[in-house]
Amino acid sequence: MYQKKDYVYVESLGVCRVEEVTSLAEKDGTSILYYGVRSMRNQGTTAYYPVEDHKVEIRNLITLEEATKIVEEYEKEKEAEVTTEENRTPVSDKVYEAKFVIELDKKKKAKKASAKK
């Protein structure tokens, strides 16, 4: 189960941050846990997905090693990244995710370095 502030990849939104894990009432009165996620690419976009039995793929981000390889391949091919929602492709999503993972790693390292000072 993902926790608040975790970064995940959501099939329909791309890279997202889990903003909350909350119970929402169903029509029959039962309560179901949902992830409240915010898209990192389209900051104004938020969505809720059930923690269990969601129809959309929700997974961990790729590793730093995978991200580095993807960015290196992308730069070699010099493909233009598509950034509009209408023209988004799996390749551009993968490159965005890779760059996000690398940037996140840099921020974590910088934070650790400044904490040691």
Mean pLDDT over the full length of the chain: 87
Residue 17 — pLDDT band, cuts 50, 70, 90? very high
Report, as an integer, the average pLDDT of 28-55.
92
Domain edges within the chain: 7-60, 64-116
Q: What's residue 77's pLDDT? A: 72
Residue 82 — pLDDT band, cuts 50, 70, 90? low
DSSP string, 58-115: EEEPPPHHHHHHHHHHHHHHTPPPP-SSTT--HHHHHHHHHHHHHHHHHHHHHHHHHH
User: Which residue's structure tokens are 């070699």?
Assistant: 76
Q: What's residue 92's pLDDT? A: 79
